Amino acid sequence: MEQLKKNIKAIGLPRIIIVAFLFVLIILAVVQQQNMGTLASDVLVRFGMNMVLSLAMLPAVMAGTGMNYGLPVGLLCGILGGLVSIEIGFRGGVGLVMAMVIAIPLAIAAGYLYGKLINAVQGDEMMVGTYVGYAVVSLMCMGWLILPFKDPAMIWPIGGSGSGLRSTITLSDNYDGILNNLFAFEIGGVTVPTGLILFGLIACGLVYLFSRSKTGICLKAVGDNPRFAVASGISVKKSRMIGTILSTVLGAVGIIVYAQSFGFYQLYNAPLNMAFPPVAAVLLGGATGRVCKISHVILGTFLFQALLTIALPVANQLMPEGGLSEVIRIVVSNGIILYALTQSGGEGDA
Amino acid sequence: MNENTPVLSMQNIEKAYYGNKVLKGVSLEVMPGEIHAICGENGAGKSTLMNILFGMPVIHNTGGFSGTISMDGEQVSIKHPSDAMKLGIGMVHQEFMLIPGFSIAENIKLNREPRKNGLLSTIFGKKLQKLDEDKMKSDSRAALDKLGLDVDEDIPVAGLPVGYMQFIEIAREIDKENVKVLVFDEPTAVLTESEAASLLAAMKKLAAEGVGILFISHRLDEVIDAADKVTIMRDGTWITTLNKKDTTMEHIAELMVGRKIDLSQKEESAKIDTSKVALSIRNMKVAMPGEVVRGLDLDVYKGEILGLGGLAGQGKIGVANGLMGIYPTEGEIMVGDKKLTLNNPKASIEAKLSFVSEDRRGVGLIPDTSIEMNMVIPAIVNQNRFLKKFGFMSQYDADAIRKNAENYIKELDIRCTGPTQPVRRLSGGNQQKVCIARALLLQPDVLLISEPTRGIDVGAKSLVLDTVVKLNKEYGLTVIMTSSELAELRLICDRIAIVTGGKITDILKPDDSDAKFGMAMSGISGKDGE
Amino acid sequence: MPKSNGMNKIKGFMVSNIVPIVFIIVCMIGVAFSGSAPSIIMMDVISRFSRNAFLVISLIIPILTGLGLNFGIVLGAMAGQISLLIVCVAGMNGLSAVIAASALSVPLAVFLGWLTGKLLNNTKGSEMITSMILGFFASGVYQFLLLFVWGGIIPIDAPGIMLDSGIGVRSAVNLNNLKYAIDNIWKMDIFTAGIIFSLIFLIINAVKLLKRTDKTKVRTVVNIAVFAAIFVICFWASHADACKKMKALCQIPMVTFGLIALLCMFVPAFLKTKLGQDMRAVGQDMKVASVAGIDVDKTRIIATCISTVLASFGQIIFLQNLGNMSTYSAHENVGMFSAAALLIGGASVSKATVGQAIMGTILFHVLFNVSPMAGKNIFGSAELGEYFRVFIAYGIIAVTLALYAWKKTVQAREKNKVQ
């Protein structure tokens, strides 16, 4: 009994509940005779398109700033990069690469400013990050209205000044799904979006290599024990800054990957709460506000996205009226974060 | 109540924490109107005794204590701080228990506010009774007047001088109606001299009104000035209780330290070569909370083991932390003939200083990381060792790191399952060795090692100390060892500097008399005219 | 203590009230550019104020208890909404429905507040983020409850409220049956109302002045002067031709305002009771309070309960004024907008007064009213103005939180300095 309790504690109650829930959903899906091939393909796509966004949490946690609730800062840089790339006229694979090329310097600059702030508010990163994210999203809402974009595919057709950008910008005749389809193959009715997943894994690999470099070691030391880091001659502020910038850059790249799979860039209030699913995903994968490994990112994103993807058709068939799957999404993702907050005993750890 | 009945009597108090006896039959009597001082080094058991008197949870969660406590001749049972309060035992805390945003009166009456009925209490009940502000003020005024403190009871505590805050704490205690015994725990530690003097005066005034006072202090001059009786404790045992008129400061000091140390195993220290100064410190100030250094001067000679001793909170710990740039530091520090850049740990490491922290878990280690990584991180970061370069990226050299760890594990005899074991799982002594290995890996000229034996079992203690001596003898390493255990300093150091009040009071030889050490620790310099 | 001269006093006043002063200026610019008539703006602000003031004031007690901005008032709002739905299902109407809903919401809100308090005691140091995430989480549970349990598990027969399938509550529920139930009990034009309210407060303050003789006298005298001025202005305006239009348009819901006024008097009086004093002590230093024998956890739970109950009342007042309810989103922004309003009034994460709440509510809603039109007239885009006011709401919270956190680190550094 004691051993069982210990094991439950080690794995974490919410993880057990959610994995069990996932199994129930899969069984239900089989019973409902859902098309398992399509479902599996969807899971793989959602897993791939969210991986980089979840990965963005890792450098922030590593450097001791906790989960990056200010992720929208990075997302906006990514979206802006994507839009500028379209405006200039890049299309297809070049367009995708150029979107990132433009977004990354923007993200570095924004991440630097955000990092300055995060360094000034040590201990309250979560709350400040969340609201800075909100504020920046609403600031950019005004930005989308007045930025001088001209491409007719992107602005409202009425024309004239002040009409601004559309709320969704389609990529259908552009790089929609370009990574998904790269080397994609079908096996047993399951389409594997090879390029998309490969991209995510390469990003993970790069972060892994980074964590073994001198800078990476500094970051990790700061995150693990800032007082140890200080005594070892490591600049805590600099390391936290690097972690924040890296996280912001990954957020920017992540949203571009996300958009190419999704087929749209969503502007205005869409990025508002986009920091929470990645946070919930890595927490589900076993991370805490202090420890986050690549394995947590991959496992967590997979579990979380699998859950949401399978829940959608299953819930819809169970309750055709209204959004049961939406309810599941809200309860699961916020429940995980709440649980993590209580586990850290309010040390500002989630 | 008879004149000769002690207001407080504690008889044969014994207490063990997890089988480790920290109080071995201590007895104590306080008469009404008596100021009774308790003297002893850190770890003598003073605070445990006070925790018992106050019924602190820490005592009862660890199996209680044995012995009896009586007040006014009647045996009492104190199971909780509220019991102590009801019995009329008051405590003036060392750190102020005041709410800065509240007025003086609100603080004095905290959670004992006089109340009266109002509209809200008639609707919602007793908890919403109105505070009787007038009575709060007049009560506070009376308590403050008793202490002779002329300050408006209406102004907030925030921003008041520290000395006032101490008086407000006392006012709170004496405002409690039935206060019979007041405990002052190091009340003058944070006060200026004049503030301390008026505090002692207030204490005497209270005693004159019949309150029994327990006075814990390491300042022997104050003890001699104020106390009627002095109880001396050492290592959890009651040594003696003396009348003030029968004793002297030197006598108390000797009794406090009074440890017979076997100095025979110590080799006659070779004459220290005072021509080469490894480290020169002038007017050093370190803002380390709880261990503040206030203008310290010290020369460390090449090749010596210098001990830094003194009581807790006096600043000895701050010296090494200041040298390493971990806490904000001012002053002029020369390492060899180069000026040290202050407040920059990297610069200190580059100046070939290396530090084994007193706070092993907090500063010394990354608990969940492997032994091998714990050893090499500062070397990687500051000296670019154990790295392989790939263009603009570097990767750590896992093989070299493993080899290094294996070497040190063998050399320092670290008991572990292997270089990848997380240091959290190691015993205290072995953790300490990992810290030492890391410090040595930086190839220092001067090794700063603080509290090297804290939290280590007896067997491992001598191993760690032997390692320090060996490094000094074999590699000529200059060592500054900071320790609360005078005995171990006297065992291995060439010279011992005693830090009191953030300054060096005296530099002693290991074989100087106990009285000299005791006096130095209570802040009285052996040198005349200082 | 040396007496500061007048200039310094003004400067000190400006510095300590910089946030509301800036927003007064922003609002004035907005009003000037909106092109709307002052009476129209006033009318809208009055109705928004009567809707929101309760919710904003419900944030004060947790702030003083050291819990920061209690975004958990969202749970209180949900309690209010559930209660309203229940009375509507029961077929109640008008004032009796509102009173029944309020009574019903008390046990519900106390229960939710108790849970919130428990949770916040487990997450000391990150109460704000916890209460915010809790709000999201509770939103999911609430949706589940109303969409699937109502009608799905508990059979409910109320066609106007439930979806056609009989399972789940409609996403928009018509509350016409109790619209203006409180507001319309007694309405007066703004000036007469001003005269009545200022007279009441004049009397209260005069009684205070007679009863007390100490230092609070100065404040009482100032209060009397202020209310006398309001009295005179209202008296003049109610007879002036220039204000005729405003007099006709701006109707004050007397009972709602009366309730708000009662709450405004309750909060400071409450803070002077034993429980209130305990809360302030806990808010300033949990450790000292606990050493002094105050039950810190219990005090914090009581504070969240009070806040949650007040918020549930606030939401009921809000919805009876609105007359309809978006079942699944009406509560969502309650925490955020209330917090923003309070902060605009000059409150911080650790300090707040009723005055700041009132001031902030007025300023925030003036801004809300004028932003779209001002945006259209300045930038040619009403949308821009709409986004601007949302930005202000988020921005003010972000800035306040950041400043608070930054101050904390600076103070910690100062504290450790060697004298």
| Digit-coded pLDDT (tens) for C146-204 | 888 888 888 888 888 888 888 888 888 888 888 888 888 888 888 888 888 888 888 88
Measured between CA atoms, the residue of chain A closest to residue B355 is A231
Please say whether the beta carbons of B449 and B480 come within 8 A: yes
pLDDT per residue over A254-267, tens digit each? 999 999 999 889 98
Measuring CA to CA, which residue among C35, C119, C38, C33 is closest to residue C75?
Answer: C119
Q: Is the dihedral of CA C328, C331, C335, C341 positive or negative?
A: positive
Measuring CA to CA, which residue among C159, C164, C54 is closest to residue C109?
Answer: C54
Res C210 pLDDT > 60 = yes
Looking at chain C, the whole-number percentage of residues with pLDDT higher than 90 is: 34
B20 vs A92, residue with greater confidence: A92
> Residue A186 pairs with which residues in a beta bridge?
A191
pLDDT per residue over B114-157, tens digit each? 888 888 888 888 888 888 888 999 999 988 888 878 888 888 88
Region class of A291: left (phi > 0), else alpha (psi between -120 and 50), else beta: beta
Cα(A236)–Cα(A112) distance, integer angstroms: 15
Tell me, what's the pLDDT at B271? Answer: 62
User: What stretch of H or E contains B141?
Assistant: helix B133-146
Q: Which residues of B touch C266 (CB under 8 A)?
A: 120
Mean pLDDT of chain B: 85
Give CA angle at A252 (A246, A254), nearest 5°. 95
Tell me, what's the pLDDT at B530? Answer: 36
Q: CB C120: neighbour CB atoms within 10 A?
A: 29
A320 vs B366, residue with greater confidence: B366
pLDDT per residue over B381-430, tens digit each? 888 888 888 877 888 988 999 999 999 998 888 888 889 999 988 888 88
Measured between CA atoms, the residue of chain C closest to residue B502 is C418
Mean pLDDT of chain C: 87
Tell me, what's the pLDDT at C419? Answer: 46
Tell me, what's the pLDDT at C281? Answer: 94
Is B287–C417 a contact, with Cβ atoms under 8 angstroms apart? yes
Tell me, what's the pLDDT at B224? Answer: 85
Res B210 pLDDT > 80 = yes
pLDDT per residue over C351-362, tens digit each? 899 999 999 999
CB contacts under 8 A, B 71-90 vs C, are 81-82, 85
Cα(B223)–Cα(B247) distance, integer angstroms: 11
Q: CB A79: neighbour CB atoms within 10 A?
A: 28
Measuring CA to CA, which residue among A104, A93, A117 is closest to residue A52?
Answer: A104
Q: Which residues of C touch B118 (CB under 8 A)?
A: 269, 273
Burial class for B316, CB neighbours closer than 10 Å (0-12, 13-18, 19+): buried
Measuring CA to CA, which residue among B366, C126, C401 is closest to residue A350?
Answer: C126
Is B82–C293 a contact, with Cβ atoms under 8 angstroms apart? yes
Tell me, what's the pLDDT at A349? Answer: 39
Q: List helix spans (H) across chain A.
A: 2-11, 13-31, 36-55, 57-62, 72-88, 92-120, 125-146, 178-181, 194-211, 214-224, 226-231, 236-262, 276-284, 294-318, 324-343
Q: Which residues of B touch C280 (CB under 8 A)?
A: 101-102
Cα(B511)–Cα(B524) distance, integer angstroms: 18
Please say whether the beta carbons of B301 and B472 come within 8 A: no
Q: Which residues of C touch A322 (CB under 8 A)?
A: 147-148, 163, 168
Tell me, what's the pLDDT at C216? Answer: 64
Is A164–C394 a contact, with Cβ atoms under 8 angstroms apart? no
Indicate the SS3 state at residue C267.
helix
Cα(A201)–Cα(A143) distance, integer angstroms: 33
pLDDT per residue over B41-99, tens digit each? 777 788 888 888 888 888 888 888 889 999 888 899 888 888 888 888 888 877 778 89
Instruction: Give the pLDDT mean for C334-351.
Output: 90
Q: Which residues of A touch B396 (CB under 8 A)?
A: 212-214, 217
Give CA angle at A218 (A217, A221), nearest 5°. 85
Res C3 pLDDT > 60 = no
Q: What is the dihedral of CA A202, A208, A212, A215, to 10 degrees?
A: 90
Tell me, what's the pLDDT at B529? Answer: 36
Contacts with C141 (C-beta within 8 Å, 6 or more apart), sequence order:
A331
Q: Which residues of B touch A290 (CB under 8 A)?
A: none
Of the ranges A152-156, B4-8, B458-462, C278-282, the best mean pLDDT one = C278-282
Which of A161-165, B316-320, C147-151, C354-358 has the weakest average pLDDT?
A161-165
What are the structural domains of chain A? 14-343 (1.10.3470)
Q: Which residues of A touch B326 (CB under 8 A)?
A: 227, 230-231
Band (B267; pLDDT cuts 50, 70, 90)? low
Please say whether the beta carbons of A127 and A280 come within 8 A: no
User: What stretch of H or E contains B335?
Assistant: strand B329-335
Which of B257-271, B347-361, B436-450, C304-318 has the weakest average pLDDT?
B257-271
Give CA angle at B188 (B184, B189), nearest 5°. 110
Is C418–B118 a contact, with Cβ atoms under 8 angstroms apart? no
Whether ipTM tops 0.85, in short, is: yes
Instruction: Give the pLDDT mean for A222-251.
Output: 93
Q: Which residue has the tokens 């060795």?
A: B433
Measuring CA to CA, which residue among B467, B471, B440, B439 is closest to residue B453?
Answer: B467
Give phi and psi for B183, each to the nearest 5. -105, 125
Residue A5 touches chain B, beta carbons under 8 Å: no
Cα(C365)–Cα(C344) distance, integer angstroms: 11
Instruction: Give the pLDDT mean for B219-232.
Output: 87
Instruction: Give the pLDDT mean for A125-151.
Output: 89
- Shortest alpha-carbon distance between residue B130 and chain A (Å): 34
* C217, C263, C273, C408, best to mutate vs chain B, most B CBs in 10 Å: C273
Please say whether the beta carbons of C144 and A331 come within 8 A: yes
Give phi and psi for B149, each to the nearest 5. -105, 115
Residue C418 touches chain B, beta carbons under 8 Å: yes
Residue C132 touches chain A, beta carbons under 8 Å: yes
Contacts with A146 (C-beta within 8 Å, 6 or more apart), sequence order:
A162, A164, C379, C381, C384
Instruction: Give the pLDDT mean for A150-173.
Output: 76
Band (A228; pLDDT cuts 50, 70, 90)? very high
Band (C212; pLDDT cuts 50, 70, 90)? low
Tell me, what's the pLDDT at B198? Answer: 83
Q: CB B93: neighbour CB atoms within 10 A?
A: 17
Instruction: Give the pLDDT mean for B451-473.
Output: 82
Cα(A297)–Cα(C228) distance, integer angstroms: 65
Q: Which residues of B touch A225 (CB under 8 A)?
A: 362-363, 365-367
Cα(A265)–Cα(A169) distance, integer angstroms: 5
Which of A38-42, A176-180, A209-213, B138-142 has the weakest average pLDDT?
A176-180
* B85, B107, B110, best to mutate vs chain C, most C CBs in 10 Å: B110
Cα(C362)–Cα(C342) distance, integer angstroms: 10
Measuring CA to CA, which residue among A321, A28, A339, A17 is closest to residue C146?
Answer: A321
Q: Which residues of B touch C269 (CB under 8 A)?
A: 118-120, 130
Res B528 pLDDT > 80 = no
Which of B145-159, B245-259, B355-369 has the weakest average pLDDT?
B245-259
Tell me, what's the pLDDT at B376? Answer: 92
Domain ranges within chain C, ordered by starting residue: 36-411
Q: Which residue has the tokens 């091998």?
A: B372
Contacts with C201 (C-beta within 8 Å, 6 or more apart), sequence order:
C223, C227
Tell me, what's the pLDDT at C58? Answer: 93
Using CB atoms, pick whichever of B93, B131, B287 lies closest to residue C274.
B131
pLDDT per residue over B477-506, tens digit each? 999 999 988 888 888 898 999 998 889 998
Is A232–B345 a contact, with Cβ atoms under 8 angstroms apart? yes
Touching subunits for chain C (3+ Cβ pairs under 8 A): A, B
Is B111–C289 a contact, with Cβ atoms under 8 angstroms apart? yes
Indicate the SS3 state at residue B69.
strand
Measuring CA to CA, which residue among C57, C26, C330 is closest to residue C173?
Answer: C330
Res C48 pLDDT > 50 = yes
> Residue B156 pairs with which residues in a beta bridge?
B103
Tokens of C200: 């009441």
Cα(B394)–Cα(B392) distance, integer angstroms: 7
* A217, A219, A242, A290, best to mutate vs chain B, most B CBs in 10 Å: A217
- Shortest alpha-carbon distance between residue C132 and chain A (Å): 9
Is B289–C274 a contact, with Cβ atoms under 8 angstroms apart? no
Using CB atoms, pick whichever of C215, C272, C287 lies closest to residue B130.
C272
Band (C110; pLDDT cuts 50, 70, 90)? very high
Touching subunits for chain A (3+ Cβ pairs under 8 A): B, C
What are the structural domains of chain B? 8-97+179-257 (3.40.50.300), 99-156 (no CATH), 277-521 (3.40.50.300)
Contacts with B446 (C-beta within 8 Å, 6 or more apart), sequence order:
B278, B279, B300, B335, B352, B353, B354, B477, B478, B479, B480
